[in-house]
Structure 1
Amino acid sequence: MAHSTLRSRLGCWLALMGMALWLTACRPLTIPMPTAAVPGTAPALAPGPVAGAAGLDDPLYPTLGNGGYDVLHYDIDLTVDVAGNTLNGATTISARATQALSAFNLDFSGLTIGQVTVNGAPARYRRQASELTITPVQPVQADSLLTVTVAYQGQPQPMRDPGVPFLPLGWQRFGDDIAVVSEPSGAMTWFPSNNHPLDKATFTMRLTVPKPYQAAANGVLSDTQDNGSSTTYVWQMTDPMATYLATVHIGRYEVITAAGPDGVVRRDYFPLGTPASVKASFAPIPQMMQFMRQRIGPYPFAAYGVALLPVPTGWALETQTLSTFGAGAGGAAWDEGEVMHELAHEWFGNSVSPATWQDVWLNEGFATYFQWLWQEQNEGSAAFNATVQEVYASMLAQDVGSPLPQQPPDLFTDATYQRGAWTLHALRLTVGDVVFFKILRAYYQRFAGSHASTADFIATAVEVSGQPAVETLLRDWLTNPKLPAPPAPSAQTPVIAL
Structure 2
Amino acid sequence: MAAGVGATVLSLVAAALPAAEPLGVGDRLFPTLGNPGYDIGSYDIAFDYSGDKNKPLKARTVIDARVTADQLERFNLDFAAGTVRGVQVNGMDARYERAGEDLVVTPAIPLHKGARLRVDVRHTSRTKGIAHGAWVHTKDGLAMAAQADAAHRAFPSNDHPSDKAYFTFRLTAPKGVTAASGGTLVRRTRAGAATTWTYRLAHPMATELAQVSFGRSVVPRRTGPNGVPVRDVVPTDKRKVLEPWLKKTPAQMGWMERRVGRYPFENYGLLVAEATTGFELETQTLSLFERELLTSDSYPSWYKQSVMMHELAHQWFGNSVSPREWSDLWLNEGHATWYEWNYGAGLGGTPLTRRVRAAYGQSDDWRARYGPPAEPRAAKDGKRSEIFRPIVYDGSAVVLYALRQKIGKAAFDRLQRAWVVEHRDGNASTADFTAMASRISGQDLGGFLHAWLYGKKTPPMPGHPDWRQDKQGGQGKQNRHAPHGEPAKHQGR
For the aligned pair, the TM-score class normalised by the smaller chain equals 0.7 to 0.9
User: Matches of 1:329 and 1:350 in 2, distance apart?
Assistant: 23
Q: Which amino acid aligns with 2:266?
A: A
1:89 equivalent in alignment to 2:59 = yes
Aligned residue in 2 for 1:264: 228
Aligned residue in 2 for 1:116: 87
1:247 equivalent in alignment to 2:211 = yes
1:424 equivalent in alignment to 2:400 = yes
Q: Which amino acid aligns with 2:228?
A: V
Quick check: 401-410 or 337-346, which moved more? 401-410
Contact 1:430 1:489 in 2 (8 A): no
Q: Which amino acid aligns with 1:119?
A: N
Pairwise CA distance, 1:286 = 1.1
Pairwise CA distance, 1:292 = 1.6
Contact 2:23 2:34 in 1 (8 A): yes
Q: Which amino acid aligns with 2:360?
A: Y
Residue in structure 1 matching 2:295, options 328, 331, 337: 331
Contact 1:278 1:332 in 2 (8 A): no
Aligned residue in 2 for 1:56: 25
User: Matches of 1:282 and 1:456 in 2, distance apart?
Assistant: 35
SS of the residue aligned with 2:232? Answer: strand
Q: Which amino acid aligns with 2:163?
A: D
Contact 2:21 2:100 in 1 (8 A): no
Q: Which amino acid aligns with 1:90?
A: R
Contact 2:323 2:428 in 1 (8 A): yes
Report the TM-score when normalising by structure 2.
0.83
1:478 equivalent in alignment to 2:453 = yes
Aligned residue in 2 for 1:496: none
Contact 2:257 2:263 in 1 (8 A): yes
User: Matches of 1:53 and 1:452 in 2, distance apart?
Assistant: 26
Q: Which amino acid aligns with 1:285?
A: T
Aligned residue in 2 for 1:389: 357
1:175 equivalent in alignment to 2:135 = no
Report the TM-score when normalising by structure 1.
0.82
Kindly tell me: are residues 313 and 136 of structure 1, through their superposed partners in 2, closer, same or farther at Cα, counting changes over 3 Å? closer
CA deviations over 1:213-251 (Å, ceiling 9, x no partner): 011101011111122301111010120000011111110
Map 1:321-470 to 2 at 5 A. Answer: 321-328=285-292, 331-332=295-296, 335-379=304-348, 383-395=351-363, 401-403=371-373, 404-408=375-379, 410-468=386-444, 470=445
Pairwise CA distance, 1:130 = 1.4
Contact 1:73 1:93 in 2 (8 A): yes
Contact 1:429 1:489 in 2 (8 A): no
Kindly tell me: are residues 486 and 72 of structure 1, through their superposed partners in 2, closer, same or farther at Cα, counting changes over 3 Å? same
Contact 2:224 2:251 in 1 (8 A): no
Pairwise CA distance, 1:311 = 2.6
Contact 1:94 1:148 in 2 (8 A): yes
Residue in structure 1 matching 2:272, options 308, 322, 326: 308
SS of the residue aligned with 1:241? Answer: coil
Contact 2:367 2:391 in 1 (8 A): no
Q: Which amino acid aligns with 2:105?
A: I
Contact 1:177 1:309 in 2 (8 A): no
Kindly tell me: are residues 313 and 78 of structure 1, through their superposed partners in 2, closer, same or farther at Cα, counting changes over 3 Å? closer
Pairwise CA distance, 1:394 = 4.0
User: Matches of 2:227 and 2:167 in 1, distance apart?
Assistant: 21
User: Matches of 1:434 and 1:288 in 2, distance apart?
Assistant: 22
Higher relative contact order (CA 8 A, sep 6+): 1
Pairwise CA distance, 1:76 = 0.5
User: Matches of 1:87 and 1:225 in 2, distance apart?
Assistant: 19
Contact 2:22 2:99 in 1 (8 A): no
Aligned residue in 2 for 1:13: none
Aligned residue in 2 for 1:72: 41
Identical residues among aligned pairs (%) = 38
Pairwise CA distance, 1:474 = 1.2
SS of the residue aligned with 1:153? Answer: strand
Pairwise CA distance, 1:399 = 6.3
User: Matches of 2:186 and 2:143 in 1, distance apart?
Assistant: 20
User: Matches of 1:234 and 1:351 in 2, distance apart?
Assistant: 22
Map 1:106-185 to 2 at 5 A. Answer: 106-153=77-124, 155-157=126-128, 159-160=130-131, 168-185=132-149
User: Matches of 1:353 and 1:157 in 2, distance apart?
Assistant: 29
User: Matches of 2:321 and 2:129 in 1, distance apart?
Assistant: 27
Contact 1:345 1:367 in 2 (8 A): yes
Contact 1:110 1:157 in 2 (8 A): no
The unaligned stretches of length 5 or more in structure 1 are 1-48, 161-167, 491-498
SS of the residue aligned with 1:435? Answer: helix
Quick check: 276-285 or 351-360, which moved more? 276-285
User: Matches of 2:218 and 2:127 in 1, distance apart?
Assistant: 26
CA deviations over 1:283-311 (Å, ceiling 9, x no partner): 32212211221221111100100111113
The unaligned stretches of length 5 or more in structure 2 are 1-16, 381-385, 466-493
SS of the residue aligned with 1:58? Answer: coil
Pairwise CA distance, 1:389 = 2.2
